Amino acid sequence: VNGNRLDAHFAKAGGFFANATNNIPQMYGRGFEPDLKTRLVMRNAVAGNSVFAGKAPDRRYFVLAATRLANLIKTIRTIQPKALASEHGIDPRHETITVLGHSQGTIITLLAQAILKQQGQRCVDCIIMVDTPYSLYATEDDGNQTGHGKLKTLIDIVNVVTSEPHTVPDLADLLITAEQSGGRAGANWSKTCGKRLDKNGKSWITFDERDNRGKVYLYFCPEDTVVGLKKVHGIGTFGVPDEVPADGTAAKHGKTMPAMTALAPKRFHQRMWTRMERDDNGNGKFKKVLVGTSPARVPVRDRFERLTPGPDTDGTMLGTVLESSKNAALQASFTRNDIRFINGEELKPPCEPDLYGGEIVKGGPRPGHADVAGMMTPDDVTKNVSLGNQYASFKWITVETTRNPLTSIESYKTAFNQGKAIDGQSQNWRVVPDTSVTSMVKNALLPIVPPQYLIQREQTPNEARLDMQQNPDAREPNNYHSGVLHSTENHRWVTAMDVAIGQAVTLDDPVWRELLILMADWKMDRAAVIKIKGNANFGRLPPKTQEFILACSNYYISGTFPEEHVSATMPPLVTSELTPAAVAAQEQAQAEYYKQEAQKAQMMYGNKTLGEVFQGMPR
């Protein structure tokens, strides 16, 4: 559809990359439309096989995702518990929920909280935002939203999540000696501290326990080149500075708006995950910047580090020039000694970040040398995006030689494809001159002999997938947009300490657990619907929830958007504020509309008064 490769369910795994937003209001509007510059980049495959930015659908499927998340959270806290749980006073409305969101999922998570608040429901207990594209600046392609509107929305949503932390159950109720603990906590755990084995699994270390209910965490990576693009300028790359430039209605009150200064007192915490290595002791020994040191004001870029998110080079001299030029053109930049208040709680021990997970060729800074991006083998989604990109090019394989440049390729194509599955077929065939050295020498020595031509086919999808998996030339530089997520150790030593702990009685019931997991999966095909309807607890859900689940399934199966279940109006916590240029354009369009309507009326009624016009109308 519009050049986008969809699967049999009208879905696009990985989403429409160009449809991503850096704010909430834009998710209620029309989809991405490529300009001339973007179309030229795509047609010439300048960005490579795996990048396609074609016309995309309306973005309201993001709003549907937020509505589904809000519905799931509400369902978890309103289900009927098992009789045994009820006897012990364990009520699902006290369920402790943490959402770990990544990229666009973080903005969907924020909107879900605004929807819950509008419905009078309790928000999740804790949010961890990883590599979010959410921005606090007015950018080129953000639906003309002001930085002030974005900042106010973030502050207001953070406030409803954190202002009244839920306190049931008390963490003391999780002690192994407590009646209802269920044995979840070990003998060395208390509500203030616990013990765990170190990374080597040999020595016990003591860590501080804390109640993370009513907190929002931001994990940002200054080397994330995706949300570091100028058109995005996301806090997932740049973090939240103390202040940001004032615009919109805030411009009346000064040149800047308090950002982290306003968010930090509201239990908003940020942690920096950087690949940079620094000589903090001045002894010439460069070490990784640890995550979880004592809260402090930290430079995102020191005096020796580059100002753009992207790496300095791909490891070659030409690459250094190309990368530097590309970074300057596409990426927003830090300023020298740009400071962030890193106020995530101290971890014991602090974590040495691993941002190189999944790399075939490991990248990273080298003291005294340029920073090199690691190389990644394309994953399944990337392979499918490449295969669906009409402008992508794959290897050509010679099938036969001929002296006739007008040879028909149809017979070769039919014979090759016959009886094969679609992914084993080759659709693109051609006849081209043989430019090999041997052929050219023969042509020169025997000019009376007609030159040789090659009958070639493009790789089949299966061959292309295998080639992308095995061929080093098919590897792509890591953009570090998922660097934090790609290492389990990052989560073991940091995320595990930041999630909220408490009650999870709904997961104790295997029937409810199965239903909730099925509800959470957006890929609701017919097999999933059969499981959902067959679940003993499906009939215990409110009728509206049942209807909503089936409508979401119908959307996945047939592509029919569930309009009646998705509000077209933003919840009150979301502030939509247009830039002055957008307001002027809107007013101009409105004036033009009224002018055209007046001209139509003039042509229809001439100079008649309203009384004369109405006089001729039937009563």
588 and 569 both lie in a single domain: no
How many other CB atoms sit within 10 Å of the CB of residue 86? 13
Higher pLDDT, 455 or 310: 455
What average pLDDT does the segment 280-287 reach?
83
Could you tell me what percent of the chain has a pLDDT over 90? 66
Tokens of 548: 């909503």
For residue 269, what pLDDT is reported? 99
Beta strand 364-366 with 369-372 is: antiparallel
pLDDT, the chain, mean: 90
For residue 134, what pLDDT is reported? 98
Q: Which of 473, 492, 516 is the last residue of a domain?
A: 473
For residue 619, what pLDDT is reported? 57
What average pLDDT does the segment 606-610 reach?
71
Range of the domain at 606: 580-615
Does residue 118 lie in a domain region? no
Could you tell me what percent of the chain has a pLDDT over 70? 93
pLDDT at 367 over 70: no
Which DSSP symbol is given to 619? -
For residue 521, what pLDDT is reported? 95
Domain count for the chain: 3
566 and 538 both lie in a single domain: yes
527 and 464 both lie in a single domain: no
pLDDT at 472 over 80: yes
For residue 141, what pLDDT is reported? 80
395 and 449 both lie in a single domain: yes
What average pLDDT does the segment 116-134 reach?
98
User: How many angstroms separate the CA atoms of 595 and 588, rounded?
Assistant: 10
Q: How confident is the model at residue 212 (pLDDT cuts 50, 70, 90)?
A: very high
What average pLDDT does the segment 199-226 reach?
96
Q: CB–CB of 109/101 below 8 Å?
A: yes
Tell me how many degrees the CA angle 316-39-233 measures, rounded to the nearest 5. Answer: 65
Does residue 200 lie in a domain region? no
396 and 459 both lie in a single domain: yes
User: How many angstroms separate the CA atoms of 572 and 25, rounded?
Assistant: 12
Using omega within 30 degrees of 0 as the cis cutoff, is the peptide bond preceding 349 cis? yes
How many other CB atoms sit within 10 Å of the CB of residue 442? 15
For residue 583, what pLDDT is reported? 81
Residue closest to 154 by CA, chosen among 65, 69, 236: 236
532 and 568 both lie in a single domain: yes
465 and 417 both lie in a single domain: yes
Q: Which of 450, 473, 496 is the last residue of a domain?
A: 473
Q: How confident is the model at residue 600 (pLDDT cuts 50, 70, 90)?
A: confident
What average pLDDT does the segment 49-58 reach?
86
Does residue 527 lie in a domain region? yes
604 and 542 both lie in a single domain: no
What average pLDDT does the segment 108-116 reach?
99
For residue 317, what pLDDT is reported? 53
pLDDT at 557 over 80: yes
What average pLDDT does the segment 344-367 reach?
92
Q: CB–CB of 529/553 below 8 Å?
A: yes
Q: How confident is the model at residue 495 (pLDDT cuts 50, 70, 90)?
A: very high
- pTM, two decimal places: 0.90
For residue 353, what pLDDT is reported? 97
Q: How confident is the model at residue 247 (pLDDT cuts 50, 70, 90)?
A: very high
Q: CB–CB of 352/293 below 8 Å?
A: no
Does residue 425 lie in a domain region? yes
Q: How confident is the model at residue 34 (pLDDT cuts 50, 70, 90)?
A: confident
Lowest mean pLDDT of 128-142, 170-184, 288-302, 449-463, name the range: 170-184
User: How many angstroms separate the CA atoms of 569 and 156, rounded?
Assistant: 18
Tokens of 118: 């509008």
For residue 184, what pLDDT is reported? 77
536 and 599 both lie in a single domain: no
Q: Which of 432, 453, 473 is the last residue of a domain?
A: 473
Higher pLDDT, 479 or 17: 479
Higher pLDDT, 269 or 608: 269
Does residue 597 lie in a domain region? yes
405 and 447 both lie in a single domain: yes
pLDDT at 163 over 90: yes
For residue 369, what pLDDT is reported? 64
What average pLDDT does the segment 532-560 reach?
96
For residue 374, what pLDDT is reported? 92
Higher pLDDT, 132 or 384: 132
Does residue 461 lie in a domain region? yes
Does residue 240 lie in a domain region? no
442 and 405 both lie in a single domain: yes
Higher pLDDT, 388 or 584: 388
pLDDT at 180 over 80: no
For residue 591, what pLDDT is reported? 79
What average pLDDT does the segment 384-400 reach?
92
Q: How confident is the model at residue 44 (pLDDT cuts 50, 70, 90)?
A: confident
Tokens of 476: 């792509």
Q: How confident is the model at residue 489 (pLDDT cuts 50, 70, 90)?
A: very high
pLDDT at 15 over 70: yes
Does residue 514 lie in a domain region? yes
Q: How confident is the model at residue 165 (pLDDT cuts 50, 70, 90)?
A: very high
Lowest mean pLDDT of 190-199, 286-295, 446-455, name the range: 446-455
pLDDT at 408 over 80: yes
pLDDT in tens, 289-341: 999 999 999 999 988 888 889 887 665 555 555 666 667 677 888 888 889 99
Residue closest to 80 by CA, chosen among 503, 502, 538, 547: 538
User: How many angstroms separate the CA atoms of 555 and 298, rounded?
Assistant: 47
- Residues facing 126 on adjacent strands: 98, 215
562 and 602 both lie in a single domain: no
